[in-house]
Chains A and B, each alone.
Chain A
Amino acid sequence: MFEIGGKKLKSRLFVGTGKLPDYSLIEKMYYEAGIEVFAVAVRRIGPNTKHTKNVLEYIPKGATIMVNTSGAQDHKEAVKIAMIGRELTDSDWVKVEIEKDTKYLFPDSFETLKACEILVKEGFKVFPYIYPDLNLAKELEQIGVEAVMPLGSPIGTNKGIGCEVLLKPIINEIKIPVIIDAGIGRPSHAAQAMEMGADAVLINTAIATSADPLKMAIAFAKAVEAGRLAFEVGLLKEYEYAQASSPLEDFISG
């Protein structure tokens, strides 16, 4: 169990829904992989049509919806999208995602900070998607966000924890939860994030675009659990040089 955004959760794996081939997978992931938090892009919440159903109809009652502001071009749009999202989903969890460009999809730190300030005041539980930037993370913590969501490597790249040296200080220094978001391509990457001490991970592309999203979600859930257990036990250090005792030692210590 861990606490985040005023909720007690069992699973530390959050899943994005925007790229899924079929929304009916959401329910299966909830029951079979134990996933409790689903990120939903507000821009894609369409009404029911004859051919497509609203994503919200697929999210089980017990699950938590994290509305995502992706597509927002600046803080004003992000705030507006969050408001629309809260209205539509009845959830006050909002992932603030404001991207600077569509080539790398890097988050826009200035606009993100501004949006978070407003949204915290508006009573949202705010989860900003950010660069692994300790100073920014600290400022956001001060403002009162629920958690920070630094990227592991650029969105959709499946490159894993490419920013370990930048993520570590955030995990060490920040008291609110740290959720590694973006770039995680394999269960082993997720396990690595958890071993490092991250509180949770959010996976989108790697699950949604795999050949079997449900099975992959289960794989990720297990990896996240394994990584967390290992972190709690404390990993053994890696030694650069062999540990064999040498006769020299006796002289030095003697």
Chain B
Amino acid sequence: MVSFLKEAEELFEEYKDYAPSHREICEIIENKEFLTKEDLAKLLNVSSKEDIMLMAKKAQKLTRENFGKVILLYAPLYIANYCQNGCVYCGFSSRKNYKREKLSFEEIENELRKMKEEGIDSVIILTGEDRINSSFEYIEKACSIATNYMSEVSIEVYPLFEEEYRKLSNIGVVGITVYQETYQREDYDKLHPFGPKKDFEFRLNAPERALKAGFHEACIGPLLGLSEPKKDVLCAILHAEYLLDKFPKAEISISFPRFRSAGTEFIPPYTVSDKEFIKFLIIARLYLPRVGIVVSTRERPSLRDALIDVCITKMSAGSKTTVGGYAEEKDEDAEAQFEVEDRRSVSEVVDVIIKKGLRPEFTNWVKGVKSV
């Protein structure tokens, strides 16, 4: 499993100071149907605006050919924020004196109803990472309620065992999102001083277990800023490729959330500029033309809108990132896990998509296929 990490490491070392010429960049993007791993490592170092724009053009063409003029929409539903971990960068960390909440099943239904009223039809259910306060059974029940309301249900919870994923798959959950935070083991270790999340490999293997258990989709990625960004991006892209090779029929998505402050004093060792961030997404598209690309509400509206034209295939809309935030007005800034930049309603996001000549869509998978 971790062979791709070693490969990424070696590639990164070999090409980290390699600046491809304009000509070489043109060669790579114009003449090749599929980029090699070396091309990928080289393109990560591109810095001229003109070259990035050139790459963006190709990325746009690939996105339209493979995904058509469609943008999938979804919204997160935070059902609990208990957490056993001590991730040094997170406002939900168990070290924080923080008001813990967990929705009852009735409250979950209320939230879903409210979301539905706003026109949301695809949901991702989130909890903090706490097997005691948010037990598997709790998550399972929440998912099963959600499948009654939504066309599509995914999860972003602590890594589960394969059997547990199978149970969720059987009730109709189709997707998993699990961010590795960083692919660099040493940094990972320091950033996660205690708690079950310390187990790097159990987390790394989570998407694989879920896909094996029958999930259709997996979304992966690093949290940019925690470790050397180019290296993390390279690892994530090769991780996506590894999953595609192993589960050729699955839909793999990638996302590169950038670190945002979250009520901690933690200062990330790296900052990623807009230019670098955009370049990373474009490169992911160039290397993996059929991989989904997700951009979160951590990014500001103007940037998200610009990326819709180029490489995004899926985005959240109308997100509330507090527990119980849909049914009840809450102060998002005070309570959320991270800062949300794009607070537009679903209608507003839908309008932007339509204005760009694209079709917003909530449904990617037909319900009930799994219950064969």
Are A81 and B363 CB-contacts (below 8 A) given A51-B346, A209-B65? no
Q: Could you tell me if A51 and B119 are in contact, using CB atoms closer than 8 angstroms?
A: yes
Q: Point out the residues of chain B lying under 8 angstroms from A43, CB to CB.
A: 363-366, 369
Instruction: Select one of A49, A52, A71, A73 contacting B366, CB under 8 A.
Output: A71
Decide yes or no whether B359 CB sits under 8 A from chain A: yes
**Of all chain B residues, which has the CB nearest A16?**
B68
Decide yes or no whether B307 CB sits under 8 A from chain A: no
Instruction: Select one of B70, B119, B216, B354 contacting A50, CB under 8 A.
Output: B119
Q: Could you tell me if B360 and A51 are in contact, using CB atoms closer than 8 angstroms?
A: yes
Q: Point out the residues of chain B lying under 8 angstroms from A44, CB to CB.
A: 361, 363-364, 366
Q: How far is the CB of B237 from chain A (nearest CB, A)?
A: 14
Q: Could you tell me if B249 and A100 are in contact, using CB atoms closer than 8 angstroms?
A: yes
Specify which of A46, A99, A157 lies most central, judged by the most chain B CB atoms within 10 Å of its CB. Answer: A46
Q: How far is the CB of A143 from chain B (nearest CB, A)?
A: 21
Decide yes or no whether B162 CB sits under 8 A from chain A: no
Q: Point out the residues of chain B lying under 8 angstroms from A52, CB to CB.
A: 119, 121, 350, 359-362
Specify which of A42, A49, A205 lies most central, judged by the most chain B CB atoms within 10 Å of its CB. Answer: A49
Instruction: Select one of B117, B119, B250, B369 contacting A81, CB under 8 A.
Output: B369
Q: Could you tell me if B369 and A47 are in contact, using CB atoms closer than 8 angstroms?
A: no
Q: Could you tell me if A156 and B369 are in contact, using CB atoms closer than 8 angstroms?
A: no
Interface on chain B toward A: helix, strand, loop, or mixed SS? Answer: loop
Q: Could you tell me if A103 and B244 are in contact, using CB atoms closer than 8 angstroms?
A: yes
Q: Point out the residues of chain B lying under 8 angstroms from A49, CB to CB.
A: 116, 119-121, 362
Decide yes or no whether A21 CB sits under 8 A from chain B: yes
**Complex Cα spacing A157 to B34, Å:** 13
Q: Point out the residues of chain A lying under 8 angstroms from B369, CB to CB.
A: 43, 71-72, 77, 80-81, 84
Q: Could you tell me if A45 and B250 are in contact, using CB atoms closer than 8 angstroms?
A: no
**Of all chain B residues, which has the CB nearest A185?**
B65
Q: Point out the residues of chain A lying under 8 angstroms from B269, CB to CB.
A: none
Instruction: Select one of B69, B118, B248, B363 contacting A45, CB under 8 A.
Output: B363
- A-facing residues in B322-372 (Cβ within 8 Å): 346-347, 350, 354, 357-366, 368-369, 372
**Complex Cα spacing A84 to B369, Å:** 8
Interface on chain A toward B: helix, strand, loop, or mixed SS? Answer: loop
**Complex Cα spacing A22 to B347, Å:** 16
Q: Could you tell me if B248 and A47 are in contact, using CB atoms closer than 8 angstroms?
A: no
**Complex Cα spacing A19 to B69, Å:** 5
**Complex Cα spacing A163 to B47, Å:** 41
**Of all chain B residues, which has the CB nearest A77?**
B369
Q: Hey, what's the 0/1 contact readout for B266-303 against A, CB within 8 Å counting as 1? A: 00000000000000000000000010000000000000
Q: How far is the CB of A223 from chain B (nearest CB, A)?
A: 20
Q: Could you tell me if A71 and B365 are in contact, using CB atoms closer than 8 angstroms?
A: yes
- A-facing residues in B72-105 (Cβ within 8 Å): 73
**Residues of A participating in the B interface, judged by any CB pair closer than 8 Å:** 18-23, 42-47, 49-52, 71-73, 76-77, 80-81, 84, 99-103, 105, 156-158, 204-205, 208-209
**Residues of B participating in the A interface, judged by any CB pair closer than 8 Å:** 64-70, 73, 116-121, 151, 216, 244, 248-252, 290, 346-347, 350, 354, 357-366, 368-369, 372
Nearest 9 A/B pairs, CB to CB: A19-B68, A46-B363, A50-B119, A101-B248, A21-B69, A51-B119, A51-B350, A209-B64, A43-B366
